[in-house]
Each structure stands twice: as C-alpha cells, then as structure tokens.
Amino acid sequence: MQSVIDSWQRAQRHEAAGEWDRARPLYEAILDVEPDHVPARLRMSRLEQFAGRYLPSRTHALQAAAAVRRGAGLRHIAHVTARLLEFAEEPEAAALILAADWNAADVIRQSPALAQHLWLAGRYAESLRLLDALEPRVPGHPLLSFTRANVLRYLGDAAAAERQYEACIAASPGMADAHWALATHARARPPLARVPRLQHALQSAGDDVARAHLLYALFREYDAADDTGSAWKALAEGAALMRACHAYDARGESSALDAMMAAAPSGDVAPIDDFGPCPVFIVGMPRTGTTLLDRILGNHPAVHSLGERNDLAASVCEATGRFFNPAVPAGAAALFDRADAAEVGRRYLRRTAAGATSASHRIDKNPLNLFCIPLLLRALPRARVLVLRREPMDACFSNLKELFQGGAYAYSYALDDLADHCRNTRRWTSHWASVAPDRVRVVDYEALVRDPETVAGSLLAFLGLPSHAGLHDVAMNTAPVSTASSSQVREAVHGRAVGAWQRYAAQLQPLRERLGAAA
C-alpha cells in the first residue's frame, strides 16, 4: 500500500511539471499492483488522450467504471461518469449512477454532479428521481436547484424551471451560470428587475468566464427592456472575454474545407449493410432553425428524434483510433481519407440502435456534424442531410448573442470571426448541395418560418416519407429539448427573429462590411 501511495505522489509531481513520460510508468506500476485503482485509471485515460490515442484512453475510462461497479473507488464516481460523458458513453454513465447505492455517503456527497450527469446523459426522469431522493439529505444546495431547473426547462415546465433558478440564485447569489440560464429562459417582471443583483454579482465574479456569463445575462436583460446601448456594451465586453479564451483560425478552417471538398468524390460510397431506420442529419450553424426543423419533422409518426448527440464523432474516433473534434475541421480531410467508412457507418448505426423505435426515420440534430458531410455520405448510403441556412446578418448576430458552452463555437465571439465562419459554411453548404443534390438539401430558415407547412411537405418528399398534416404545430411536440432553443421552441412557429440584427445595425456595421456580398 505504501508503495502505491509513494508512486501516486511521485506521478502527480511529474504531471504537475509536465513530465508525462515519467508519470506514465508510475501509474502503470500502480495498476499492476492494484488494477481497480480508479484515480490511476483516470490519469492514464488522460495521458493516452494527450498522446492522441483514443481507444486506450476510452478503455481506461471504461475500466474505471467497471472498478466502481465492483465496489472500488465509489468516492470517485462523479469523476468517472464525467469522463464517460466525454466519450459519448451516456448509457454507461447513467447505468453506473443508477446502480450505485444512493444511501452511501459518497453518493450523497457527489449528488449535485451525479444529477447533472444524468441530465447531460438525457435521462431526465432519472435525474429528477435522484434529486427527489437526495435533496432532503443535502438541503438548500444551489447545484441541485440548478440541475432541477435545467431538467424542468428541457421538459417544458417553464414556470417550475424559473422558480428553481430563483431558488439557486437565492442560495448562491454569485452563481454566474444560474443568472445566465435564467436570463435566457424567462424575461424579468418588471423589465430590468434583475439588473441590480447581476451588477452586484459582477463585482465579485471570481474569473473571466464567470464575468462573461454575467455580462451575457445583462445583455439579455437590457435587450428585453429595449436599452440597446447598455445591452451592446455588456455583450461586447462579455464576448471579448470569451474571445480571449478561445482561438479561431478562419484561414485554417477555409483551407481544411477546401481540402475536404477536393478529396471526397460524391460517388465513393462504402459498401455496408445499412439497416434499420434511415438516418436524417439536421446540421448548420447553431441558432439557424435546426431545433425548429427537428421539432417539425419530429411530429411525423414515422420520425424519431435522437436529439443533439455525439454519436457520429464518437464513431469516427472508434473507427480510426484517433481523437476527432468536428468543430475543428483542420486535419479532417486526411482523417476521413484514412477512415474505414463502412466501419464508421456500422459503429454509428450500432450506437443509435439503442434509441430504436418503430419509426422509419431517425433524426440526429447535432449542428457540428455539418463538417462531417463528406464522410457520412460515404459511411451511411441511405442518410439524408438537411442543412439550415439563415440570412447571414441574422445568423451571425444570433450566434454572437448566445454564450455557447465548452468553446465548441470559437468563432462566435468576434465580428470578423463570425463573418469569416459564415462565409465558409455557406460555401461549404452550396458545394455539397450541388455535388449530392439527392442526399443534401438546403433549408432556408426564412422560408421555414414563413410557410412551415409547405417547406415540411417538400422535405417529406425528399426524405421519402408520406405526407402528414399539422407538422408545423410544434406546440404538440412534447419531447424534451436539450439545446439553446429549449425555452423559445415551445412557442408556435413565428418570424419575429427575422431581421432581428437591425436593432443593432450601427454596432454590426463592421460585420456587414466583412460579410460583403454574402450579406
């Protein structure tokens, strides 16, 4: 035991110094003696990730989960489930939490994180069940209220979600995430009522990310009250903080897209046994109507929506053995060229089979799959791709005012970056709609909100589905919504957001100039 402790302490010192090659053999020695040493498994998973080796990294995470299931390292269960979610292993993460003893002190102590992980895994009912069971044991914990609010919001109980966000803020007045979530969820009554407490929280914010959340919340509050001057000031300051945290390379992105467009002929289709429902990918820049279209088509009895999943990217990682981030297309051309497309397709279909229903079509609504089009056309011969396209100024402004989590949309914090990314995606979209018109269809957001029934009808024909009346009545779709539009999409289809950028026309003039003819 002492040798294990000594090895762990030495390995930690090497990691702190950036000496990963010296830390690795120490963790390996620990696992030789104690295979169920969960912290060493998790550290090895990270070291394999740093080395770019996906499969060993994932294997260590799964072995950590197995160790917890065998009764080892329960005090680390939340770290293990968080790691599993990074590998899109939502079923495994949920199963680990649901199998744990909820009366155990370690589970009670980690209940805020575990409830959040069930929510992130899409297990909303189970998350509420865990919260109901454990909140009495951890009374007044702000993270429990915050997670309950998020779950209720995704399930469509807007009033209850608002009450829980308020309870969270009452318990933790400086919790920036809660202020921001509430501002995006419901308007203050009366307008500007929340501004004083936001400004107070801003004065004591601990870091730039927290400050950014509070500034984006202030933007929402001022914008709702038509104080566009104060709103823009808060938004510009918050966006600048986020831009300093996340780098975007427009030229590199453009070159990567050019390489993929040149490297992937439309006829190069993998010979796989494509089984089950027809995959339908809804992609595009976020905030361009992807969730709305998902809700409309999801009203069809032959269509089942999986929501916003990471199964395609995970399938690429598993088939190639390399880490792949669909938000960063640099290097994707070479990776896609080396990938066994048939294996990617088989893995994707196996992953999504868990959500099998009697539906003949299954929607995967992850906007980041946009840059995977050339691979998915080869990997999934029956797949259809619907690309949302919105008027560029509205698309860019809608991205600018949304604070995306995790840095997935690094272009969204500066006007020049927004313009460059928008032009890149429009060029990319036009290319694939031209090269593969029988499999890729562009859907204009403005047409969708203006005449949703007609647009939906044309898409049904494209997807090979029978006509069905009333698809545009999104209010009758009661499925959970786990995207930034979770609050807004519960309304009937409307066009109020068309031309929304014009309220900030003066401030957005540099964006318009950068867009050039695209605007």
In the chain the first and final C-alpha atoms are separated, in Å, by 66
Write the single-letter amino acid at 65.
A
User: What are the tokens at 287?
Assistant: 């905030």
Architecture of domain 140-245: Alpha Horseshoe (1.25)
Instruction: State residue 116's pLDDT score.
Output: 96
Contact 349, 246 (CB under 8 A): no
Fold of 35-134: 1.25.40
Euclidean distance between CA atoms 80 and 74, whole angstroms: 9
**Same CATH topology for 35-134 and 140-245?**
yes
pLDDT for 111 equals 95
Alpha helices (H) along 275-372: 290-298, 311-320, 332-338, 341-352
CA 234: distance to chain centroid? 25
Low-confidence ranges of the chain (pLDDT < 50): 266-267, 483-486, 489-490
Return the pLDDT at 518: 77
Name the percent of the chain in helix, strand, coil, to the closest 5: 65, 5, 30
CATH number of 250-518: 3.40.50.300
For the chain, the C-alpha Rg in angstroms (whole number) is 24
pLDDT at 119: 95
Give the pLDDT confidence of 16-31 residue by residue, as tens digits: 999 999 999 999 999 9
What residue segments make up the domains of the chain, in order of their start?
35-134, 140-245, 250-518
Q: pLDDT by residue (tens digit) across 441-463?
A: 999 999 999 999 999 999 999 99
Tokens of 200: 């107070």
**Cα–Cα distance for residue pair 175/48, rounded to 1 Å:** 34
